């Protein structure tokens, strides 16, 4: 019985070691300077409130003044997460199933799917060791024709993060805190 107990404890310990934080994936912009044209970085210490989504297994930090609202997508598959304050600053995250399991999403892929979307100043985004997405500027009408976006697919789910271009440094700071668990 003692040997069985020791084996059980070793098994539980090994399980906890393998699954405790080692599987956390933290996305990042591929270049060390962040987005190419951001002249004024956002103060990361202002991101003091955590939003956590247990369905899609991610968290992101946001300013204390922000609220989180989850809305259904038009298709009914997925969710739109709106993180914002009363002054119009914020980020929208549209989450939906991807039609196929892909590891790299490029600006050319988005252009092929949405030919009317103007994508400029694209930049690769790394999601862990295996996945790649793209950060870019666009003419998204929902954001007064001047948006900043980060799109990627992770484990069969498409994440489309969008904000007004004027909130670029906020998006960068929030994205730097993004973690999958």
Indicate the average pLDDT of the chain: 82
| pLDDT tens for each residue of 89-138 | 899 999 999 988 889 999 999 999 999 999 999 999 998 888 999 999 99
pTM above 0.75, yes or no: yes
- Average pLDDT in the 32-56 region? 73
DSSP letter at 44 equals: G
Question: How does DSSP assign 15-44, residue by residue?
Answer: HHHHHSSTT-B-EEESSTT-STT--S---G
Please name which of 93, 109, 59 lies closest in space to residue 162, comparing C-alpha atoms. Answer: 93
**pLDDT at residue 4, rounded to an integer:** 35
**pLDDT at residue 27, rounded to an integer:** 58
| pLDDT tens for each residue of 137-168 | 999 888 988 999 999 999 999 999 999 999 99
């Amino acid at each position: 019985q003692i040997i069985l107990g020791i084996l059980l404890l070793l098994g539980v310990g090994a399980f906890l070691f393998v699954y405790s934080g080692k599987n956390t994936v933290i996305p990042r912009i591929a270049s060390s300077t962040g987005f190419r044209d951001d002249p004024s970085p956002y103060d990361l210490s202002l991101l003091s409130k955590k939003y956590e989504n247990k369905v899609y297994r991610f968290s992101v930090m946001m300013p204390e003044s922000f609220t989180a609202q989850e809305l259904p997508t038009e298709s009914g598959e997925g969710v739109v997460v709106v993180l914002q304050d009363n002054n119009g600053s914020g980020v929208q995250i549209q989450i939906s199933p991807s039609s196929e399991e892909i590891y790299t999403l490029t600006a050319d892929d988005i252009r092929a799917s949405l030919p009317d979307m103007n994508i400029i100043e694209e930049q690769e985004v790394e999601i862990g060791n295996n996945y790649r997405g793209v950060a870019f500027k666009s003419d998204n009408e929902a954001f007064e024709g001047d948006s900043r976006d980060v799109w990627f697919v992770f484990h069969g789910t498409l994440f489309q993060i969008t904000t007004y271009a004027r909130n670029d440094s906020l998006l960068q700071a929030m994205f730097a805190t993004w973690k999958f668990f």
